[in-house]
A and B are shown apart, each in its own frame.
Chain A
Amino acid sequence: MDTTEQIITQAPNAPVPQVPQPKPVFPLWGAALIAILIGGGVLLTWRSFQQNEGFPALPTPTPTVVPTPTPIRTLSALASQSAFLSLATNVASLSTQLRNFVTEDPSLSPPVLDLPLGF
């Protein structure tokens, strides 16, 4: 029996040395997740544009100014009389004078003197 032949016949049963596979830099599931997120974002953006086109923005409501109606009062017969006008003027003048009336006149403060000579 030839030794070379023995070696050849034994070869199929021998364990095949495995070549180490290179590990992927980014996992596949990560790429899938990013793709889903980007897709979702694009979808949402597109839908929002669609909605804007479909429903135009409503104008901001501005409050309408409704002035309070001034009650119309009828002047009395007295209002045009000179006696009444004179009274109104006198009362207004007295009111102003009283508000300006200073009960303590600073110019009238008595002099404070140190009298004892101290000799």
Chain B
Amino acid sequence: MKVLKILPLVLLLLLVPHVVASSQQAYQDYLFQFDIYRQKYSEFTVAKNEYLKFKTLTSQTTALAKTIAMLSQRDLLLRAYLLLLNEKLNEDRGLLSIDRVTYQTLLTNEVVFLEGHSRLVTSIASLEDASETSQQLESHYSILQASMRQTIGGLSLGQLIVYARVFDTALADARALVDSSRGTFSPQKQATIDRWILQITNVRSLYQQKQEQIARLNAQFKGTSLDEQNSNLSTIKKNVAEARQYLIEGTGYLGELVDALRYED
């Protein structure tokens, strides 16, 4: 009976590392799929060149087989990357659940597309079919890449929000301490402390404006070409870096406030 009571606890402890490392596992799987894709793409390139050079039935058959294998692996690779993003979203603790669900819906739509595309790949019977099936992915690729980049922007924002929450807790604690100790410091020092808290609050407001700007940019993420999308993602990342800088500045001020509270004079 005692063993039966302990068993669920043991199982839970065994499962915890797997839960924590799920994004790591997804990343390893993505790297593995990428390696296989590179190999299949290389084989496809060789077979295609031979077919274009000799135009024999044998080279055509080989080229078709290698093309199907490569296209199939391409879908698997893209799905592995989407899974990685999904796992990162699952681990995120900063985003509001409604935002997380929005990003996960984007990813799910792309996975559904890739699953449909994979089914088409298995029914390819000729090189013309292969070209047509590949073009379906090509025409959708911009949307797929935009979804990926939008999710990356969301993940960066989520990380920022986690730190902002810790900052807010620390600021609230500092305020509570100052309020509870009002009267223990000299009036001059008390005025300085109050002014510092106001300055910290101002920095927090600047951070908040930046966070809202990032959320707005990410919600309206667009770009017809990959270059445009990369440029938009860079803008978001630049704003994330600036928001982080505000938090660093505010935390530095909090550190000074803590030092001021530590001593009487």
Contact = CB atoms under 8 A, between A and B. Distances in A.
A75 B149 CA distance: 51
B177 A73 contact: no
Interface residues on B, range: 35 or more
B181 interface: yes
B36 interface: no
Interface in B152-171: 152, 155-156, 159, 163, 166-167, 169-170
B173 A87 contact: yes
Nearest to B33: A111
Contacts of B174: 87
Contacts of A101: 159, 163, 244
Contacts of B88: 108
Interface in B165-192: 166-167, 169-170, 173-174, 176-177, 181, 184-185
A95 B252 contact: yes
B247 interface: yes
A87 B173 CA distance: 7
B187 to A, nearest CB: 15
A28 interface: no
Chain B at the A interface: mostly helix, strand, loop or mixed? helix
Interface in A57-116: 73-79, 81, 83-84, 86-88, 90-92, 94-95, 97-99, 101, 103-105, 107-108, 110-116
B114 interface: no
Contacts of A119: 48, 51-52, 63, 127, 130-131
B163 A79 contact: no
B148 A110 contact: yes
B181 A76 contact: yes
B111 interface: no
Contacts of A104: 237
Contacts of A20: none
A37 B126 CA distance: 115
Nearest to B178: A78
A101 B241 CA distance: 10
B177 A98 contact: no
Contacts of A76: 181, 184-185, 261-264
Interface of A: 73-79, 81, 83-84, 86-88, 90-92, 94-95, 97-99, 101, 103-105, 107-108, 110-119
Given A97-B166, A103-B244, 6 more contacts: A78-B262, A94-B254, A98-B244, A98-B251, A108-B88, A115-B134
